[in-house]
């Protein structure tokens, strides 16, 4: 379990000042992109590159210390991804980039089977970046990297071996770094998606008005919290401590399940603060921002207290109750964006829109 970082909750509250609405949407988007999304992908690239280097060191010098260093770096990489994984539109939705970084949930354990097969069969094609990026998404990203570093047989990387598993891990890390580089470049392109979000025009293929931009941006938060609940919490909780399914949790092997949730929530808080979205709310709607920060602080504090592997957390009735409380909080946070903030800004996130039917 990594030590959880704090977020500037009080500082963020400061941005919730009374400034009326949509004329400032371009400024909000410019800040969100320049000060959060672009640096977020840059950090992802940096952390993935660093893990590649750690894996190289482990391959060259197998030792418990080098394995531990690589595992620690994996946590840093996961944290970098958690900060930015709420971005599900734009370049990450092209060419299966999202799934190549993290193919999850994997209901049928397809990726696990593929990774295990690659390791058992010593499939040399997973060792080359050029061939790996053309293979199944299940072999390419953080899920397979977690298995390499924490799955059955991973401890053997600390001792002398043929280095296959280690080299595969390094290739995955470089693959993620490459995808992050592509995403960073796409979001940095002055004529790319950033431009269309900051300056929507009727003849744009995607964002034609400030209303559409705001809908996309608010949806990022409401859908993000919804996704945390339906993907990461509900399937794991099941009906109670006796039936909880800890192995359905994201990153259970590395013990990062709870960290991931907290980092995701913190990321959304940070993005909200950096963007200055709260400033679009009027004076008499400031309570909505206050509600958000209150619920987010509850989420982070509760999650941070669950400092144990997810299976232990869930079999303890008190731990299960706390995880269940996190699920309730995600509903509340989703509603704050999907109904209250969106309603205050005149944006309809949709009884019927954006629900994929």
Partner 1 sequence: MWTRRAFLQAAGVGFAASLMPRQAAALANAELVVASACRMPDGTFGAALASERGAVIATLKLPARGHDVVRCPVTGRLAVFAWRPGTFAMVFDTRGNAVATLTSPAGRHFFGHGSFSPDGRLLYATENDFETADGKIAIYDATSGFARIGEFNSYGIDPHEMMLMGENLICVANGGIETHPDYGREKLNLATMRPNVAFIDRHTGDLLSLHELPQRFHQVSLRHLAPDATGRVWVGAQYEGPAADDVPLLMRLGPDEDFFIPDVAPTTLHALGNYVGSVASSADGELIMAASPVGNSALILDTASGETAIRHLKNVCGTEFDGRRPILSTGNGGLAFGDAPPERFETLFDHHLVVVPG
- Residues of this chain that bind partner 1 (CB under 8 A): 89-91, 93-94, 96, 98-100, 103, 105, 107, 137, 193, 196, 203-208, 212, 226-227, 230-231, 234-235, 348, 350-357
Least Cβ distance, residue 143 to partner 1 (angstroms)? 13
Least Cβ distance, residue 13 to partner 1 (angstroms)? 31
Which of 75, 70, 78 minimizes the C-alpha distance to 51? 70
Phi, psi of 11 (to 5 degrees): -60, -40
Q: Report how far residue 351's alpha carbon sits from residue 314's, in angstroms, rounded to the nearest whole number.
A: 34
Q: Which alpha helices (DSSP H) does 85-209 contain, by range?
A: 97-101, 110-120, 129-132, 142-150, 164-188, 193-198
Q: Which lies closer to partner 1 via its Cβ, residue 113 or residue 305?
A: 113
Q: Which lies closer to partner 1 via its Cβ, residue 102 or residue 279?
A: 102
Q: Which lies closer to partner 1 via its Cβ, residue 26 or residue 235?
A: 235
Least Cβ distance, residue 212 to partner 1 (angstroms)? 8
Q: Which lies closer to partner 1 via its Cβ, residue 16 or residue 92?
A: 92
Contact in structure between 207 and 213 (CB atoms under 8 Å): yes
Q: How far is CA 274 from the centre of its chain?
A: 17
Q: Which lies closer to partner 1 via its Cβ, residue 16 or residue 118?
A: 118
Q: Which lies closer to partner 1 via its Cβ, residue 221 or residue 293?
A: 221
Least Cβ distance, residue 98 to partner 1 (angstroms)? 8
Q: Report how far residue 334's alpha carbon sits from residue 228's, in angstroms, rounded to the nearest whole number.
A: 10
Q: Report how far residue 309's alpha carbon sits from residue 321's, in angstroms, rounded to the nearest whole number.
A: 15
- HSE on the CB side for 219, CA within 13 Å? 17
Q: Which pairs from 234-237 meet CB under 8 Å and 24+ separation?
A: 234/327, 235/105, 236/310, 236/314, 236/323, 237/314, 237/320, 237/323, 237/324, 237/327
Least Cβ distance, residue 77 to partner 1 (angstroms)? 21
Least Cβ distance, residue 309 to partner 1 (angstroms)? 22
Q: Which lies closer to partner 1 via its Cβ, residue 201 or residue 305?
A: 201
Least Cβ distance, residue 248 to partner 1 (angstroms)? 8
- What is the 8-class DSSP label of residue 159? S
Q: Report how far residue 289's alpha carbon sits from residue 278's, in angstroms, rounded to the nearest whole number.
A: 6
Q: Report how far residue 75's alpha carbon sits from residue 68's, in angstroms, rounded to the nearest whole number.
A: 11
Least Cβ distance, residue 189 to partner 1 (angstroms)? 12
Dihedral sign from CA coordinates of 138, 143, 149, 152: negative
Least Cβ distance, residue 164 to partner 1 (angstroms)? 26
13, 190, 273 from 337: Cα distances, Å:
16, 29, 14
CB atoms within 10 A of CB 73: 20
């Amino acid at each position: 379990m990594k030590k959880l970082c704090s977020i500037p909750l009080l500082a963020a509250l400061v941005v919730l000042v009374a400034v009326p609405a949509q004329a400032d949407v371009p400024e909000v988007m410019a800040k969100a992109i320049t000060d959060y999304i672009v640096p977020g992908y840059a950090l992802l690239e940096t952390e993935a590159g660093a893990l590649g280097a750690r894996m190289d060191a482990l391959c060259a010098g197998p030792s418990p210390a080098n394995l531990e260093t690589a595992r620690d770096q994996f946590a840093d990489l996961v944290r970098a991804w958690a900060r930015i994984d709420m971005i599900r539109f734009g370049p990450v939705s092209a060419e299966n980039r999202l799934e190549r970084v993290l193919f999850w949930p994997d209901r049928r354990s397809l990726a696990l089977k593929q990774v295990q097969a690659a390791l058992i069969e010593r499939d040399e094609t997973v060792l080359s970046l050029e061939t790996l990026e053309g293979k199944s998404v299940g072999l390419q990203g953080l899920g397979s990297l977690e298995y390499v570093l924490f799955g059955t047989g991973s401890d053997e990387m600390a001792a002398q071996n043929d280095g296959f598993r280690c080299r595969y891990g390094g290739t995955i890390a470089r693959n993620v770094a490459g995808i992050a580089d592509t995403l960073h470049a796409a979001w940095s392109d002055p004529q790319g998606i950033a431009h269309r979000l900051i300056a929507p025009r009727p003849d744009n293929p995607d964002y034609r008005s400030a209303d559409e931009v705001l809908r996309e941006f608010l949806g990022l938060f409401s859908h993000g919290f919804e996704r945390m609940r339906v993907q990461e919490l509900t399937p794991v909780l099941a009906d109670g401590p006796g039936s909880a399914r800890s192995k359905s949790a994201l990153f259970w092997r590395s013990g990062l399940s709870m960290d991931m949730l907290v980092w995701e929530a913190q990321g959304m808080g940070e993005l909200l603060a950096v963007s200055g979205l709260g400033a679009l709310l009027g004076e008499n709607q400031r309570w909505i921002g206050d509600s958000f920060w209150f619920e987010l602080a509850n989420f982070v504090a509760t999650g941070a207290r669950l400092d144990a592997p997810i299976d232990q957390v869930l079999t303890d009735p008190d731990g299960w109750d706390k995880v269940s409380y996190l699920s309730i909080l995600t509903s509340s946070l989703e509603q704050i964006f999907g109904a209250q903030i969106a309603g205050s800004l005149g944006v309809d996130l949709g009884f019927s829109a954006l629900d994929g039917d």
